[in-house]
């Protein structure tokens, strides 16, 4: 898609929905559109955001944004970073004063996307998503656990990397056949594998990474699986009003899709045990 400076909103594909973003000045909107070029879309947006750039108060991006929820409404209240997102009303606004405005807008969009996916019945998830033989395996864990490592190793083998940090998980709609779908996200950092564009695949399995001296998988007990999954759901845990719903969605995910610990070495030897764990049947839906 050709990008030209204009006052038209940037529309960003978020799984099977979209976010529109209008920036003032127009140049900021152009820079944001360049960053997300591979995810631009013409589909109708269901969340409409506006960012007003007011100066250069914040010297570094990713400082505290003063994020909090009040009655389900998300507020940002920090020096140089003030705004709200109301995903129920489908609107959000940010007043931004920063020397790195594109990076600051990126964080605003990540949070907005997490809320939008929640409203659509899914959620954002911290994991590396890798597609092999048409199915996605998700590798998750704390920062430094090996998500980027398994992504780079898999990419070298010709596997598709949806993202090595943030993914969108969407369950089947009521009455719809199939299982959960994993979507790539437009969000990346310079040290990570950059997503090539909007992509998706059916979810085959979830693997909690454990760096070890032997390669093997161990199936998680249901309660442990839910606890591990919840810790990898960003943003939503800050809102007490969404806590029970997030738990319920993670419980459903753990019933539908196998969840394992993956003990692995920093080489591609983990793939045979992963494929053995997910097996030829990769949807394990239960009523």
- Average pLDDT of every residue of the chain: 92
Q: Report the pLDDT value the prediction gives residue 7, as an integer from 0 to 100.
A: 67
Clarify whether residues 40 and 56 are in a common domain. Answer: yes
Clarify whether residues 114 and 137 are in a common domain. Answer: no
Q: Give which of 170, 171, 169, 167 is closest to 195, Cα–Cα.
A: 167
Clarify whether residues 127 and 261 are in a common domain. Answer: yes
Domain-located, residue 224: yes
Domain-located, residue 155: yes
Which of the residue ranges 21-35, 156-170, 190-204 would you say has the lowest mean pLDDT?
190-204
Q: Which of 119, 151, 170 is the last residue of a domain?
A: 119
Clarify whether residues 40 and 61 are in a common domain. Answer: yes
Q: Give which of 36, 1, 2 is closest to 19, Cα–Cα.
A: 36
Clarify whether residues 106 and 130 are in a common domain. Answer: no
Q: Give which of 264, 130, 162, 261 is closest to 207, Cα–Cα.
A: 261
Q: Report the pLDDT value the prediction gives residue 49, as an integer from 0 to 100.
A: 98
Say yes or no to pLDDT of 192 above 70: yes
Q: Give which of 91, 76, 77, 15 is closest to 46, Cα–Cα.
A: 91
Say how many domains are in the chain: 2
177 — pLDDT class (breaks 50, 70, 90): confident
By three-state DSSP, how is residue 263 classified? strand
- Residue 209 tokens, joined: 């990474």
Q: Which of 95, 119, 143 is the last residue of a domain?
A: 119
Give 191 or 124, the one with higher predicted confidence: 124
**Tens digits of per-residue pLDDT, 207-255?**
999 999 999 999 999 999 999 999 999 999 999 999 999 999 999 999 9
- β-strand partners of 246: none
Domain-located, residue 21: yes
What range defines the domain where residue 138 resides? Answer: 123-278
287 — pLDDT class (breaks 50, 70, 90): very low
Domain-located, residue 4: no
Domain-located, residue 69: yes
Clarify whether residues 263 and 206 are in a common domain. Answer: yes
- β-strand partners of 139: 128, 207
Domain-located, residue 166: yes
Clarify whether residues 86 and 143 are in a common domain. Answer: no
Q: Which of 119, 137, 170 is the last residue of a domain?
A: 119
Cα–Cα distance measured from residue 65 to residue 22, given in angstroms and rounded to the nearest whole number:
20
The CATH number for 272's domain is 3.40.50
Per-residue buried b or exposed e for 59-81, using 16+ beta carbons within 10 Å of the residue's own CB: eebebebebebeeeebebeeebb
Greatest C-alpha distance within the chain? 55
Domain-located, residue 286: no
**Tens digits of per-residue pLDDT, 24-76?**
999 999 999 999 999 999 999 999 999 999 999 999 998 999 999 999 899 99
Percent of the chain with pLDDT over 70: 95
Q: What is the pTM of this model?
A: 0.93
Q: Which residues contact residue 169 at a Cβ distance below 8 angstroms, ignoring those fewer than 6 apart? A: 117, 122, 123, 124, 125, 180, 181, 182, 183, 203, 253
Q: Alpha carbon of 234 to those of 110, 114, 168, 205: distances in Å? A: 10, 7, 11, 20
Provide mean pLDDT across the span 130-155.
94
Please provide residue 96's backbone torsions phi and psi, each rounded to the nearest 5 degrees: -120, 130
Domain-located, residue 97: yes
2 — pLDDT class (breaks 50, 70, 90): very low
């Amino acid at each position: 898609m050709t990008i030209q400076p204009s006052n038209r909103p940037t529309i960003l594909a978020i799984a099977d929905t979209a976010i529109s973003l209008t920036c003032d000045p127009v140049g900021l909107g152009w820079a944001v559109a360049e960053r997300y070029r591979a995810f631009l879309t013409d589909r109708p947006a269901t969340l409409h955001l506006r960012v007003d750039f007011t100066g250069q108060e914040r010297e570094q991006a990713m400082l505290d944004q003063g994020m909090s929820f009040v009655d389900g409404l998300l507020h940002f209240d920090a020096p140089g970073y003030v705004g709200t997102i109301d995903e129920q009303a489908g609107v959000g606004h940010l007043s931004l004063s920063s020397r790195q405005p594109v990076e600051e807008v990126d964080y605003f969009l990540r949070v907005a996307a997490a809320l939008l996916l929640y409203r659509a019945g899914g959620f954002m998830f911290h994991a590396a998503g890798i597609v092999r033989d048409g199915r996605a395996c998700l590798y998750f864990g704390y920062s430094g656990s090996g998500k980027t490592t398994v992504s780079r190793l898999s990419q070298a083998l010709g596997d598709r990397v949806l993202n090595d940090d943030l993914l969108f998980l969407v369950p089947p709609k009521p009455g719809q056949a199939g299982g959960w779908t994993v979507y790539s996200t437009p969000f990346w950092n310079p040290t990570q594998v950059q997503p090539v564009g909007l992509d998706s695949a059916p979810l085959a399995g979830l693997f909690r990474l454990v760096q070890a001296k032997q390669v093997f998988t161990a199936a998680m007990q249901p309660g442990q699986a839910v606890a591990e999954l919840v810790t990898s759901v960003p943003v939503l845990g800050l809102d007490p009003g969404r806590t029970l719903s997030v738990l319920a969605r993670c419980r459903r995910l753990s019933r539908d899709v196998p969840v394992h610990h993956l003990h692995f070495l920093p080489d591609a030897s983990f793939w045979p045990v992963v494929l053995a764990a997910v097996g030829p049947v990769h949807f394990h839906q239960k009523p």
